[in-house]
Structure 1
Amino acid sequence: MTDSVLIVEDDIDIANLIRVNLMELGITTEHESDGKKALEKALTKPFSLLLLDIMLPSLSGLDICNEVRKQKPEQAIIMLTAKNSEVDRVLGLELGADDYMAKPFSIRELQARVRSQLRKVNLIKQRDLPKVDDAFKELPNQINNYKIGQLTIDDKLHRATLGAHELDLTSTEYDLLKHFIKHPEQVFSRAQLLESVWGYGHSGYEHTVNSHINRLRAKLEVNPTDAQIIQTVWGVGYKLSAQGAN
């Protein structure tokens, strides 16, 4: 099945530039410049990925991101933000965007980031068997299932649970948690997480990791401000505490 991207951008020149360069990758695209129309299309049609500009007529990209995330938790979303708009970048990530690109952006970098998101989307669809890490505990006769303390991942069903509670995770949050649970107690820097989970490294995109860690903690921790499961190792990065997951 061909990958499809909804480009939500009110600057026609930018939208056409994106469209042409995604077509180079064999991706089909649709374009909307109006926020409300884009939201309706995003909720009613299956797109592999949404590319959302922030400033739009009738409804902002942030509002679209927030509503889509509520109704389609696994929808892949990349926000397009102004170069100096750190507030918009952080808000977009906190509302559920998987990644962001600051304008003006490199077309090659955009293509790379789109490919990275589409790889994750297609892995979810295919339910490929993951490589089993020695740090995992396998559940009996189910090599797709892994457990650390109260945390369990069923990779075949793309489901994560904490105790008896099923976690409502985006695809990127799920991939981030899976990476941690594969390597309990191992500390990862932001750059390492960008490379392993997002598929690239870039020193200017630490907000991507920080925001996803915060969102993951909000869903895992009793007190996210005093995280016991996904712990901060100051000056280094983050780790999953096996003791905290018990």
Structure 2
Amino acid sequence: MENKVLIVEDEESIRGFLKINFRKNDFIVIEAGSGEEGVDKARQERPSVVLLDVMLPGMDGFQVCEVLRKEFPDMGIIMLTARGQDIDRIKGLEFGADDYVLKPFNTTELILRAKSLLRRLGGNKANDRAETVNSGAFRIDVYSQRVFKDGTEIMLTPKEYLLLKLFLENQNKAFTRDELLDKIWGYDFIGDTKIVDVNIRRLRSKIEDKNSAAMYIETVWGTGYRWRKEQ
């Protein structure tokens, strides 16, 4: 997978600083100074990862995230949010962001998060070409990273896909939120575990039958979550 990153940030000084540092780490960098330009550049360039500021002129970061997630389910999106704005972080995740980083941020940490997301987006497809994961109504084609329920494809974000794959490969195993952070986000996460709960809620909304209790992903009170193995 090509290391191409789109930086959507209206402050030119921040954008320029990020461009220099990402280029030093062998990324191809595309820039956008507004939400509308960010959407256009994403459509033209198809970056692997988007760094998306919340506060943008015109379309804000949430609107851009919503558009990109609908059009590019496999695109990695990292939101850049103001420190202390907890509602912004949760809102960004609800719109489909894979991760968030607080401003002012550590550039090295941001680059590591982007690389971690790229690894999880790419995987080792050469070794996974024929692999599938099956459980009841669900089938995962690991090579193409496509998910099907009763033969109908379900569109998942990269993090939702990884969560579902982990659950299906470890049915009945209870995972703590910290374990899920480590296995899915892949680094010492700086922040709270709400990112896990939000992604679980989004995943449930896509795979659970409507108007029913959770049939597949169970909440283990005081611990975290587990996949209920079908009998």
User: The TM-score by the shorter chain falls in which range?
Assistant: over 0.9
CA contact (8 A) 1:218 1:224 kept: no
1:189 positional shift: 1.1
Structure 1, residues 145-168: CA drift from partner, whole Å, max 9, x if none? 121222211112211112222111
Structure 1, residues 175-195: CA drift from partner, whole Å, max 9, x if none? 111011110011111111111
Runs of 4+ in structure 1 off by over 4 angstroms are: none
1:31 positional shift: 1.2
Specify the SS of the correspondent of 1:14. helix
CA contact (8 A) 1:5 1:29 kept: yes
* 1:89 and 2:89 correspond: yes
The residue aligned with 2:50 is 50
The residue aligned with 1:165 is 152
Specify the SS of the correspondent of 2:166. helix
Distance between the aligned counterparts of 1:173 and 1:66, measured in 2? 15
The residue aligned with 1:127 is 125
Distance between the aligned counterparts of 2:177 and 2:24, measured in 1? 31
Distance between the aligned counterparts of 2:31 and 2:212, measured in 1? 40
Distance between the aligned counterparts of 1:225 and 1:202, measured in 2? 33
Q: How does 1:104-143 map to 2 (within 5 A)?
A: 104-123=104-123, 127-129=125-127
The alignment of Structure 1 onto Structure 2 pairs a total of residues equal to 231
Distance between the aligned counterparts of 2:160 and 2:106, measured in 1? 26
Distance between the aligned counterparts of 1:122 and 1:211, measured in 2? 23
Question: TM-score scaled by structure 1?
Answer: 0.88
* 1:31 and 2:31 correspond: yes
Task: Kindly provide the amino acid, as one letter, of the partner of residue 22 in structure 2.
Answer: L
The residue aligned with 1:208 is 195
Specify the SS of the correspondent of 2:139. strand
Moved more, 38-47 or 63-72: 38-47
1:143 positional shift: 5.3
Q: Of 204, 210, 226, which aligns to 1:239? A: 226
1:209 positional shift: 1.1
Specify the SS of the correspondent of 1:222. coil
Distance between the aligned counterparts of 1:100 and 1:205, measured in 2? 11
Distance between the aligned counterparts of 1:128 and 1:194, measured in 2? 26
Distance between the aligned counterparts of 1:89 and 1:8, measured in 2? 17
1:203 positional shift: 5.6
CA contact (8 A) 1:144 1:155 kept: yes
CA contact (8 A) 2:9 2:53 kept: yes
Distance between the aligned counterparts of 1:17 and 1:230, measured in 2? 42
The residue aligned with 1:14 is 14
Structure 1 residues 54 and 203, CA, compared in 2 at 3 Å: closer, same or farther? closer
* 1:222 and 2:194 correspond: no
Structure 1 residues 224 and 88, CA, compared in 2 at 3 Å: closer, same or farther? farther
Distance between the aligned counterparts of 1:143 and 1:241, measured in 2? 26
The residue aligned with 2:64 is 64
Moved more, 179-188 or 21-30: 21-30
CA contact (8 A) 1:7 1:52 kept: yes
State the superposition RMSD in angstroms.
1.8
